[in-house]
Amino acid sequence: MKLIRKSTNQTVSIEDGFLWSDEFDWKPIEQTQERAVDGTLIIQEGKKKSGRPITLQPAADGMGWVKRSLLSTLKNWSTEQGEEFTLKFEYASDQREFNVIFNHAENAIEAKPVKGIPAASENEFYSVTMRFTELSDAN
């Protein structure tokens, strides 16, 4: 998978060991139901235009690892306010692309050293969870 910074076209490759954990939790239709005074059901609904969460977390133990050097780049990118990215899946069965921003409301990046001790070099691995929010293409 790749994350492309739209403003600069910089690209980082991310290993395929991530699972989109909330892919099927998204409710594209928002609906309210209430009762009128006479008991009639009143339903209002509308289709959401954007805001789908994309949480990428390790698919299993030993997966979802990122080198500290790449993690530093991702963390720096996440601090750029208003920055948009293209998230590209590069699986044999999944070539989708998404227009995203980092989801700071839900802790955009969580990382823990794989060895459980502080990193000794930029090549040390971290187990990472990344959270994005999908934007509509019109943004």
Please compute the mean of the pLDDT values over residues 105-134 and round it to a whole number.
93
Query: According to the model, what pLDDT value does residue 6 have?
Result: 96
Residue 137 has pLDDT above 80, yes or no: no
Residue 92 has pLDDT above 90, yes or no: no
Residue 138 has pLDDT above 80, yes or no: no
Query: According to the model, what pLDDT value does residue 120 have?
Result: 83
- Say what the pTM is: 0.87
Give the type of residue at 105: A
